[in-house]
Amino acid sequence: MTGMLELKSIDAGYGSFQALFDVSLDVRAGEAVGVIGPNGAGKTTLMRVISGLIRPIRGTIAMEGTDVVATPPHRIVSLGIAHVPENRRLFPRLTVADNLKMGAYMPGARAHYVERLEFVFELFPRLKERLQQMAGTMSGGEQQMCAIGRALMSNPKLLLLDEPSAGLAPVVVQQVFELVKRIRASGLTVLIVEQNVQQVLRVVDRAYLLEAGSIRAAGSAAELAASDTIKQAYLGV
């Protein structure tokens, strides 16, 4: 496996508030990597820094060797990074079809529009049935499919998922983790933030524990699942 995404010594925050301290992390091509940690740990901030929504104060980010920090935010999608933000952020009054179209706005993606759409329908047949429905009227799980589908329309190499299971009923949570497995099996590289520690450790290869803006632990999913710190604080055993 070769390095796809590489963060080195990232400090980031909002105004004078620092949310990330010296965060280093890497994701190799074909891997699924998890980021776990309590509320306010900086997980969403980490995803925002990677997708260019906020700029780090210090440190470097490389995507397949390209300097992400020096890349204008609107060009970062073209590097192959697609971000499914926390709370989905669909356009609720647009149809499912139009939401998907919004994911393929860059010239490079437009050329592959039809084949990307086929790929999304293969993963999420439900979306094909509901193309003309307003996204805001879809169920929570369907909206998550739509949000992931929209991100996949840009033909990404790396998919950033920020708490895809949040707010969903347990059965639907299961389905979301099944989707993550399928996305991963399709060859995509995945970086996923989850509160649902037990379940996410079943679908990722490796994970990082982020606490108060710093990486406190890192290792294979099996190592983290077996660690006493994580068992006590996050697995309730």
Ligand X SMILES: Nc1ncnc2c1ncn2[C@@H]1O[C@H](COP(=O)(O)OP(=O)(O)OP(=O)(O)O)[C@@H](O)[C@H]1O
Instruction: Please report, as ranges, the residues that interact with ligand X according to CB under 6 A.
Output: 14, 17, 19, 37, 39-45, 86
Least distance between ligand X and beta carbon 110 (Å): 32
Identify whether the C-beta of residue 179 lies closer than 8 Å to the C-beta of residue 186.
no
Pick what 19 binds: Mg ion, ligand X, none; C-beta below 5 to 8 Å, kind-dependent: ligand X
Residue 42 contacts which entry, ligand X, Mg ion, none (Cβ below 5-8 A, type-dependent): ligand X
Bridge partner list, 95: 134
Element (H, E) at 205: none
Q: Is 196 in the site for Mg ion (CB under 5 A)?
A: no
Contact call for residue 44 and Mg ion (CB under 5 A)? yes
Distance between CA 4 and CA 189 in Å, rounded?
9
If the CB atoms of residues 12 and 127 are measured against ligand X, the closer one turns out to be 12
Residue whose CB is less far from Mg ion, 46 or 153: 46
41 vs 158, beta carbon nearer ligand X: 41
User: Shortest Cβ distance from residue 20 to ligand X (Å)?
Assistant: 8
When the beta carbons of 23 and 96 are compared against ligand X, the nearer one is: 23
The contacts of residue 77 (CB under 8 Å, 6+ apart) are 106, 154, 156
CA distances from 32 to 56, 150, 180 (A): 24, 19, 9
- Rg of the chain over CA atoms, in angstroms? 17
Using CB under 5 A, list all residues that contact Mg ion.
43-44, 86
